[in-house]
Amino acid sequence: MTNVTPTILSTVSSQFVDDWLAALRALCPEAQMASLLSRSGLNADTRAPNGRVTLDQIVCLYQLAAVETGDVMMGLWSRPVRPRALQHLLTTVREATSLSSALYRFSTFWNLLLDDYQFDLDDTDSALTLSLNPQTDAPVQRFGHMLILKLAHGLMSWLSGHEVPVKAVDFAFDRPDFNQDYAIIFPAPFQFGQPATAISFSPNALGPVQARSTSDLDRFLQNAPRDWIFTSSREHTQSLRVRTYLGQTGWDAATLTQTASAMHMTPRTLIRRLQADGNSFQAIKDALRRDIAIRDLQAGRKSVEAIAHDVGFSSAANFHRAFQRWTGSTPSSYRRMQT
């Protein structure tokens, strides 16, 4: 097996983007919506209950929809956020002399634009916390809450020159069935059902601000949200540490016993720690196999038989059954949908 970067290879469940798609449908005529989904590779199989969505698909839909709807937040908030708003935001925060000052500028900028929410910034000795507080009784937009917190984190990381550690993330909505997807997004513990959606940083983990040029700013905007929506951290949960190990070893060594040994613990301890993450060893192994297979099927350079072998299956028939169980599609039909 080749060395795999697990978080970039990771996929999220189709339910993770449901709120986003619902907001887009409210903005777009049916034909335009169908076109956006088609050009982003979000076909019917991808959007099935057990379908998977890749980073490339999220980035593609974001970049298309932000331009074509004339709202860079794509209907996620009650007031449209017009083109060039993010450019003005970056111009504002890059003048900050510290990361805490940048986060303050971020909050005041959005407080001028949002009607349904206001940001509060709480700066104490133990934590710097950005909270999103509702101003109406409107239902919570889960994708919108995630995206705006990730934008704040992405800007902090852009200014510091590396991914800034996050202390904790809170969400003001109940734990969804796809809660494991948030570990791919935020490099921190997260809680649901909290009084407000919020992201916290440890002050001693915040380094200096790096000077950013106009070309740096343009590159951030051009790549958005590719560079910041999926975390590059692999250490904030035991599940991601296991996935990292499996992505760097051969399938013959991808057993519970050998993985536990590599992590200097007993298999029973590893099982217990994965259960604390709401996960299991086999689920992590299957998710990695699934995401590698999805990547290779989309690339179209390998046969289904070769992909089956690469992800550790003794036969293509066994791989077919597993892939259909994981995604609701056969490998061949999934590949056809991507062309």
The pLDDT of residue 1 is: 43
The pLDDT of residue 51 is: 85
Q: Which of 182, 181, 143, 184 is nearest to 13 (CA)?
A: 181
The pLDDT of residue 4 is: 40
- Are residues 86 and 109 in contact, defined by beta-carbon separation less than 8 angstroms? no
Per-residue pLDDT at 43 exceeds 80: no
List, for residues 222-231, the tens digit of each pLDDT value: 999 988 998 8
List, for residues 299-332, the tens digit of each pLDDT value: 888 999 999 999 999 899 999 999 999 988 899 9
Helix/strand/coil for 123: strand
Helix/strand/coil for 53: strand
List, for residues 76-110, the tens digit of each pLDDT value: 999 999 989 999 999 999 999 999 999 999 999 99
Per-residue pLDDT at 41 exceeds 60: yes
Q: What is the rounded average pLDDT of the residues 234-241?
A: 78
Q: How confident is the model at residue 235 (pLDDT cuts 50, 70, 90)?
A: low
The pLDDT of residue 307 is: 95
Counted residue by residue, the chain has a size of: 339
The pLDDT of residue 248 is: 86
The pLDDT of residue 137 is: 92
Per-residue pLDDT at 62 exceeds 50: yes
Q: What is the rounded average pLDDT of the residues 196-204?
A: 96
The pLDDT of residue 49 is: 72
Per-residue pLDDT at 129 exceeds 70: yes
CA distances (Å), origin 278, targets 178, 281, 330: 11, 11, 27
CB under 8 Å, gap of 24 or more: what pairs does 258-265 form?
none
List, for residues 175-192, the tens digit of each pLDDT value: 999 998 998 899 888 999
- Are residues 53 and 42 in contact, defined by beta-carbon separation less than 8 angstroms? yes
Measured CA to CA, the distance from residue 172 to residue 175 in angstroms comes to 9
Per-residue pLDDT at 5 exceeds 60: no
Backbone dihedral angles phi then psi of residue 134, each to the nearest 5 degrees: -70, 145
> Which of the given ranges, 193-202, 242-251, 279-288, has the highest pLDDT on average?
193-202
For 272, other C-beta atoms within 10 Å of its C-beta total 12
How does the average pLDDT of the chain come out, rounded? Answer: 91
Measured CA to CA, the distance from residue 153 to residue 228 in angstroms comes to 8
How do beta strands 117-123 and 197-201 pair?
unpaired
The pLDDT of residue 112 is: 96
- Are residues 169 and 149 in contact, defined by beta-carbon separation less than 8 angstroms? yes
Find the range with the poorest average confidence among 38-47, 114-123, 203-212: 38-47
CA distances (Å), origin 242, targets 94, 177, 272, 279, 311: 37, 22, 13, 11, 16
b/e map of 218-231 (b: 16 or more CB within 10 Å)?
Answer: eebeeebbbbbbbb
Tokens of 339: 């062309």
The residues that bridge with 129 in the sheet, in sequence order, are 122, 200
Measured CA to CA, the distance from residue 190 to residue 167 in angstroms comes to 9
Find the range with the poorest average confidence among 26-35, 44-53, 316-325: 44-53
Q: How confident is the model at residue 336 (pLDDT cuts 50, 70, 90)?
A: confident
